[in-house]
Amino acid sequence: MSFTDYLFFPLFLIYAALYHITPKKIKWFILLAGGIAFYCTYGAELLPFAIGACLVAWVGGVAIGKRYEKFDAALSPEATKEEKAKHNAKAKKGAKGILWLTVALMLLALVFVKTQSWLVPKLFGEGRIPVMVPLGISYYTMSLVAYLADTYWRKVKAEKNIFKLLTFTMFFPKLLEGPIARYQAFEKQLSNPKGFDYITFCHGLQRMLWGYFKKMCIADRLSVFVDTVYESYKTEYGSMLLLATIFAAFSLYCDFSGCIDIALGAAEALGIKIEENFKQPFFSESAAEFWRRWHITLGTWFKDYIYMPIVINPRMLKISGSIGKKNKRVGKAFMSVIPLLVVWLLTGLWHGTGINYIIWGLYWGILIIISTVFAPELKKLMLKVTGLLKVDPDGAGYTAFKRLRTFVLYLISRMIVLSGSVMALGVVIKRQFVAFGPWKLVDKSVYGYGLDRPNFWLAVLLIIFLVVVESKQNKGVNFREEIDKKNIVIRWLVYLFAIFFVLIFGMYGGGYDAAGFVYMNY
Amino acid sequence: MITKSKDNAEAKDIKENSVDIKAKAVKQELKKDGSSKNLKDSKESGSAETKVSAGGAFLRIVLFTSLFLVLFFFANKFFMPEISRQNSYVKRRNFYNEPRNTIETAVLGASIAFHSAIPMQMYEDYGLCAYDFGSSGQPVLASYFWLREAYRLHGESLKNVCMDVSILRKNEKFEWYEAAIDPMKLSLLKVQAVYEYNDDINDTITHLFPLFAYHSRWNSLAAIDFDRNGYAAEDYLRGYFFNTSTAYFDNYEYDEMEIPNFYPDYGDETVPFKTESLYYMQKIIDFCKEKDLNLIIYKTPGQGVGIPAHNTIQQLADKNGIPFFDFNFEPYLSEVGYVRPTDNVDNGHLNFYGASKFTDWLGRYLVEECGATDVRGKAGYEHLEKQLADYHERSLDVMYLRDAEDPVDYIRKTITNTGFSSFIAVKGDAATKLTKEQRAQFKELGLVKLAELKPYDSYAAVIDNGHVMYEEIVENPTKKEQMVEAGLEQDDESDYNMIAKWADDPDVSTIDQAEQLTFDDVRNAREIRFADPEDYIKLEGKLCDGTVFKVISGVSSEYDRASVHLEGVQSCRNEIGINVVVYDRVIGGTVDRAVFDTGEMSCRTGYDYENNLSEALEAGKSFSELSEELQKLYLYYRRSDAKRFIRQLRKQVGNTDLLTYLSEVIKQDRYVVFVMAKGKIGEGIGEKTRAGLAELGLNELSQIAEGDSYIALFENGKLIGEHKEAKFGHIAAAGMINPDEGVAEHIMYDMSSGRPDNTAAGSIIVDGVEYAGATRGLYILVWDTVTNMKVDIMKFDPKKTPLKED
């Protein structure tokens, strides 16, 4: 059941009511049951995947925890520092084995699911095994791997109660498109759930409404245009392709962050807080900052579980040290380039298994590597240019420039993915120069790509509206609270207006194919 | 150097960090200020709440949800589809106003169904209480569910179900399902119906609520969408669509008209129907059996479903023991008294005249065979009397319209009936024959400018809701100039004077002589004089019910036209004179189109044309003496007869009975028959056949041998000539046929058989077109000299299939 199915919202309201009247001690059960029920709407036969992964993680966590417990118990209080270190290292070594085994199992399942479309025919011949995509496998696998790693690093206590871990894995708001939640934060809320608070509940629903607005009014509307243009990319003028890419940028953002808003809003309505995944990313001033504001939980996951482990890996330190002896800067660079390359290659692969995704990952990777490794040179360049142009590097103008620059970088990354293949990408880029045709933008042909005149301009208007709202949010304005300050009549008018706005201007029902959530097949 | 830059870098780092820290501090201060501001605000306005009690929460939730539901209810109303669908919608909605358990007969089916049965006539003639549930392209699924709905509300009285089965052959569009099921009131049955045509929960919910289904209309909402009550729906038609236009008079040119297929033969083939259609058809049959309802399935006369489909339906009917009446076949065709050109709107739908005949038959059948009840005077059925009165006033009024021969009378009727809106557009000279009295009467009616109409003025008017809404007249300046030039002033004294002045005949100086001029003379004289200015009138706007109209009247030799567009559809007759189009806002359709050109003989309906033609022919008029329109009708009949004749003949003759074929085609009135041999055809022609051929006068053909060339020509029953040559010797005949009457003055032909090099060949070319095929055979081309069209091209191949000998 997708978030945009008619029945989801009413059913969710009933579910939330049920959750809130349930006594605290059993609330977790309602969450688990809800998660399983939600999962089953996608096919009960896929349930074993998720439960299986959770089981593996649980067994691994318990095993690691038990090992540490045993070794901790065996440690005598008078041991010396060296003895302690040796002892702990031994404990860790065994635990590492468990960690690798369980993580490998889960990752194997993930890799299999991601590559089955070409792997299965190779192994079993055409049409033998139906392709199965367990809901949320990318997201819950990451969460569980994080959990296991954290138990290994003793950042979190191993969870002995399988049901608690299962509830976490199957918590339905985050199943569809994330965020990639961490167990610690969730566990606290599980053990001590909050009581019903009307205002929090309303805030949650309002956030869901905002998410529906972004997804159904903006994202789904823009994607009609984008898809139509890119379908005939070979013959479209560069300007049209560019416009479509710009629309695609907002479309993906609204689609993904809209879904996140619905997820977080639903959780909030249940009194549960999960991690934010977006923070007005289009106001980033650099590529690096962009990835701290876009798909935040993915970034932090890769940072905590890929980047850091590589960086602090003793072998890495040794190699970089030996390089550093010859050239300090290169040595330092080595310490960022290698892990960054790995991170970005994997990030690309996580998004998709085509060449385009690898290019995409490397694209961002190289951008960030350059900005890190050559940071001092870039800064010098920046100062020189701003000095020459007499622009204040801290002023609003330059900030706007940086934001625009970052947006353009993001546009290019969208182009890479949208094109679908290297050939297509080449064509799209070439047509920017060879056949730009700016007149196409003003000769009314923009109304011929699936959006008639009113719809086209509505889309543009809504983008502007979104940017204005987000710019305020970027400065710290919390709209829900602002509206709260008004009296009840105005508040309710606003909410009712918003609801009917979505119902009237959303792209759904009769004739419109509500675009499937873009990030759902992960 | 390096250290320095490092220092710099570090210094910069520190600086940045300190900036960061500063920023953080500032932010925190802001937050502090912000939050303190919050408190201040809440203290001042007391509006930002922090805690709501459980009871308060519950109350608010209930209130908010109620508000939402109320708005939702209204939003659904606003987004309902446009006026053009309102027609179907409104008709169905009226059904819910019927008193419960009164309807005894239900009629189901697609648009053909709701053009066929007239419930009000059934009541008037037989006292039956019937209702028409048809909708455009109604899929069988929808028919089934409307039957169930009818039963739900009229289960106690419902006894008879009549269904037109035209839809069984078709592949329904999704919109037809929507249009059919949308008007149903929300109920469990409707949910089931919507689910069954959607098969998906989301689509079902979409189509249960107009807001969800049609919200994308937001960019085309019009005032009419917010004014549902402005469109008064009358219920006296009981689902029937009243339409008096005639196919062969109003809608098509005779030479565009499709000649029906004629089914003298039955055959055995069947054709598979869509599974879904059969499934729901069976459900209808089973439901009727279960509830003990009489089910009759029928096909209206005029457009058959084709023999295979007919057979399939017949089998279905026989298997289930239900009667199937296909009115394209005897005896039903004659029993109904259907006349093809005048009883149809177009190729498939009956018009009022046809429906009237059909309803008569159906009503009688229901009374005699199904024991249908006469409810006149019974308690609970009083509403039908009122509906009958309305029916007369509204629908049959149109019939009275058609009786009007005088434009004043006609237009007056359209004004007094306030449900009508009428549009007047002038073409050509509509003024010369207007009498002073007529002009005065026009003035009285409010058509002031029409009263002043001069020859070749453009004129357009719109009458809506009983008064003249727009009226525009444009004098033709060029004509004015030329009038002055010719020394003619405007003279209102006498119409006849004007005729005299305009004629080119210099001898015309007395009124008597002027009277002798025919209108044609006068008209032709004028047409020579005038150039083509572009003074034309275009009136565009909306009627009081929101219907968009456009009226054009342009009078000049090149652009002379009158047109009336309603919702984009042109329906003006565009003939010389005063054109009037009458639109009934209640029904939402054009009900009559008239032209008043008092010079011509009155021809107001298709029946008039029929009558005029038969009168003319009886009076002995030849083809060329008929008017253009009558000629077209005449040609149509010839084509129709030819098709029927050939179809029957072919069936009879197969590909073996050469003698019968030849003797029949030769006999036909004003046909020319070409015979040509191509290749070896001598073998396979038996003795008896040869003898028969000799009797027909075809001596050469009776002696034809393998390898002979052969050509022959018959004209109007007489053998003009025949030639035979051995060893494919080349023979040819070319010439010209001059029909006494008909479309063409000359018909050129060129026949040949064999070749100079003695190889097999043959061709029959008429007016430059080759009719013989490429393969071997004895070719016979039958040509109608009146229509100047091929009637048939037949080929016998005796070598392959020996000819019949008995």
Among all residues of chain B, which has the CA nearest to that of A488? B47
Cβ count near A21 (within 10 Å): 9
Over residues B736-741, the mean pLDDT reads 88
- Whether the bond between B341 and the residue before it is cis, its omega within 30 degrees of 0, is no
Residues of B with Cβ-Cβ distance to A17 under 8 angstroms: none
Higher pLDDT, B108 or B571: B108
Q: What is the pLDDT of residues B625-634, one digit of tens each?
A: 887 777 877 8
Lowest mean pLDDT among A178-182, A389-393, B306-310: A389-393
pLDDT band at B123 (very low <50, low <70, confident <90, very high): very high
Give me the total of CB pairs closer than 8 Å, taking one residue from chain A and one from chain B. 87
Say how far apart CA B515 and CA B72 lie, in whole Å: 72
- Are the beta carbons of B68 and A499 separated by less than 8 Å? yes
Interface test with B, best of A3, A198, A221 (most B CBs within 10 A): A198
CB atoms within 10 A of CB A396: 8
Tell me the pLDDT tens digit for each residue of B760-773: 889 999 999 999 98
Whether pLDDT at B440 is above 80: yes
pLDDT of the residue at B254: 56
pTM: 0.70
Decide yes or no: CATH 3.40.50.1110 for domain B82-262+275-382.
Answer: yes
Report the residue of B216, B217, B221, B225 to disrupt the A interface, i.e. the one with the largest count of A CBs within 10 Å. B216
- Write the secondary structure of B379-448 as one string of H (helix), E (strand) and C (coil): CCCHHHHHHHHHHHHHCHHHHHHHHCCCHHHHHHHHHHCCCEEEEEEEECCCCCCCCHHHHHHHHHHCCH
CA distance A287 to chain B (A): 19
Nearest in space to A413 (alpha carbons), one of A369, A366, A477 = A366
Question: In the prediction, which pLDDT does B35 show?
Answer: 39
Q: Does A501 touch chain B (CB under 8 A)?
A: no
Question: Which tokens is B199 given?
Answer: 């098969």
Query: Cα-flanking dihedrals φ and ψ of residue A162, to 5°?
Result: -60, -35
The answer to whether the Cα torsion of A425, A426, A432, A435 is positive or negative is negative
Could you tell me if A486 lies within 8 Å of chain B, comparing CB atoms? yes
CA angle at A440 for the pair A434 and A444, rounded to the nearest 5°: 170
- Decide if B47 and A504 are in contact by the 8 Å CB cutoff: no
Amino acid residing at B583:
Y
Q: B45: nearest CA in chain A?
A: A485
CA angle A197, A6, B215 (to 5 degrees): 115
What is the Cα–Cα distance from B102 to B375, expressed in whole angstroms? Answer: 9
* pLDDT tens, position by position, A65-110: 888 888 888 777 777 788 778 888 888 888 888 889 999 988 888 8
Cβ–Cβ of A6/B75 closer than 8 Å? Answer: no
Rounded Cα gap, residues B729 and B723, in angstroms = 11
Candidate from A427-441, B211-225, B375-389 with smallest mean pLDDT: B211-225
> Among all chains, which residue has been given the structure tokens 């023999």?
B307
pLDDT at residue number B478: 53
Please write the tens of the pLDDT for every residue from B744-758.
889 999 999 988 888
Chain B nearest-CA residue for A480: B48
Residues of A whose CB is below 8 A from B42: 485
Residue pLDDT, tens place only, B662-699: 999 999 889 999 999 998 888 888 888 899 999 988 99
- Distance between CA atoms of A283 and A293, rounded to whole angstroms? 9
Contact A6 B49 (CB under 8 A): no
Question: What pLDDT band is residue A154 in, cutting at 50, 70 and 90?
Answer: confident
* A454 interfacial to chain B (CB closer than 8 Å): yes
User: Nearest by CB to A510, which of B42, B52, B213?
Assistant: B213
Inter-residue long-range contacts of B633-640, CB under 8 Å, 24+ positions, other chains counted: B633/B248, B633/B254, B633/B341, B633/B609, B635/B254, B635/B255, B635/B743, B635/B786, B635/B787, B636/B248, B636/B254, B636/B255, B636/B257, B636/B259, B636/B341, B638/B784, B638/B786, B638/B787, B639/B259, B639/B784, B639/B787, B639/B789, B640/B259, B640/B260
B782, amino acid identity = V
Residue B525 sits at the chain A interface (C-beta within 8 Å)? no
pLDDT at B78: 76
What value does the mean pLDDT of chain A take? Answer: 87
Residue B400, pLDDT above cutoff 60: yes
Q: Which residues pair with A331 in a beta bridge?
A: none
Spatial separation of the C-alpha atoms in residues A324 and A70, rounded to whole Å: 41
Of A497, A485, A511, A359, which is closest to residue A429 (Cα–Cα)? A359
Supply the mean pLDDT for chain B.
78
Phi/psi-derived region of residue B388, left when phi > 0, alpha when psi is between -120 and 50, beta in every other case: alpha
State how far the alpha carbon of A285 is from the alpha carbons of A278, A300, A348, A385, A398, in Å: 15, 19, 22, 17, 10
Predicted confidence band at A195 (pLDDT cuts at 50, 70, 90)?
A: confident
Tens digits of per-residue pLDDT, B645-668? 888 888 888 888 999 999 999 998
Going from N- to C-terminal start, the domains of chain A cover 12-196, 198-274+421-522, 284-405
Main-chain dihedrals φ then ψ at residue B515, nearest 5 degrees: -60, -25
Chain B CB within 8 Å of residue A484 CB:
yes
Q: Residue A6 and residue B215: Cβ atoms within 8 Å?
A: no
Q: What are phi and psi of B774, to 5 degrees?
A: -90, -15
Note whether A127 contacts B: Cβ–Cβ < 8 A: no
- pLDDT at B523 exceeding the cut of 80: no
pLDDT digits (tens, 9 = 90+) for A412-458: 999 888 888 888 888 888 888 888 888 888 888 888 888 888 899 99
Residue type, A114: K
Reading the block at residue B781, the tokens are 């081309």
* Of B66 and B729, the one with more pLDDT: B66
The verdict on B41 touching A (C-beta cutoff 8 Å) is: yes
Q: What percent of chain A has pLDDT over 70?
A: 96
The answer to whether B216 contacts chain A (CB < 8 Å) is: yes
Identify the CA nearest to B219 among candidates A509, A220, A452.
Answer: A452
Residue B750 β-bridge partners: B734, B765
User: What pLDDT, on a 0 to 100 scale, did the predictor assign at position A343?
Assistant: 93
Least confident of A505-514, B354-363, B375-384: A505-514
Identify the burial level of B292 via C-beta atoms within 10 angstroms of its C-beta, where 0-12 means exposed, 13-18 middle and 19 or more buried: exposed
Substitution target in B219, B221, B225 with the highest count of A β-carbons within 10 Å is B219
Mutate to test the interface with B, among A503, A505, A512, A513 (most CBs of B within 10 A): A503
Mean pLDDT of all residues in A287-294: 92
Residue B536 scores a pLDDT above 80: no
Instruction: Say if residue B599's pLDDT is above 50.
Output: no
Specify the amino acid at residue A259. Answer: C
Nearest CA among B144, B155, B482 for reference residue B286: B144
**Of A107, A133, A136, A130, nearest in space to A38 by CA:** A136
Which DSSP string corresponds to B550-619?
EEEEE-STTT-EEEEEETTEE-----SEEEEEEEETTTTEEEEEEEE-TTSPP--SHHHHHHHHHHHHHT
Asked if the C-beta of B719 comes within 8 angstroms of chain A's C-beta atoms, the answer is no
Give B31 to chain A, closest Cα distance, Å: 9
pLDDT interval class at B728 (50, 70, 90): confident
- Comparing alpha-carbon positions, the chain A residue that sits nearest to B41 is A485
Which residue on chain B is closest to A5 by alpha carbon? B202
In angstroms, rounded to a whole number, what is the distance separating the alpha carbons of residues A94 and A101? 11
Query: Which region holds residue B654: left if phi is over 0, alpha if psi is between -120 and 50, else beta?
Result: left
Q: What residues of A are in contact with residue B48 (Cβ under 8 Å)?
A: 481, 484-485
Cβ-based contacts of A499 with chain B (< 8 Å)? 68
Task: Say whether A504 and B27 touch across the interface (CB within 8 A).
Answer: no
Which part of chain B has CATH 3.40.50.1110? 82-262+275-382
What's the pLDDT score for residue B607?
A: 62
pLDDT for res B28? 44
Asked whether the beta carbons of residue A509 and residue B206 sit closer than 8 angstroms, the reply is yes
Cα dihedral sign, B662-B666-B668-B671: positive
What is the signed CA dihedral for A163, A166, A170, A174, rounded to 10 degrees? Answer: 110
In sequence order, the 6+-apart residues with CB closer than 8 A to the CB of B286 are none
Residues 6+ away with beta carbon under 8 Å from B303: B166, B260, B328, B347, B348
Cβ atoms of B128 and B104 closer than 8 Å: yes
Could B75 and A511 be called an inter-chain contact, meaning their C-beta atoms sit closer than 8 Å?
no
**What's the gap between Cα B295 and its chain centre?**
29
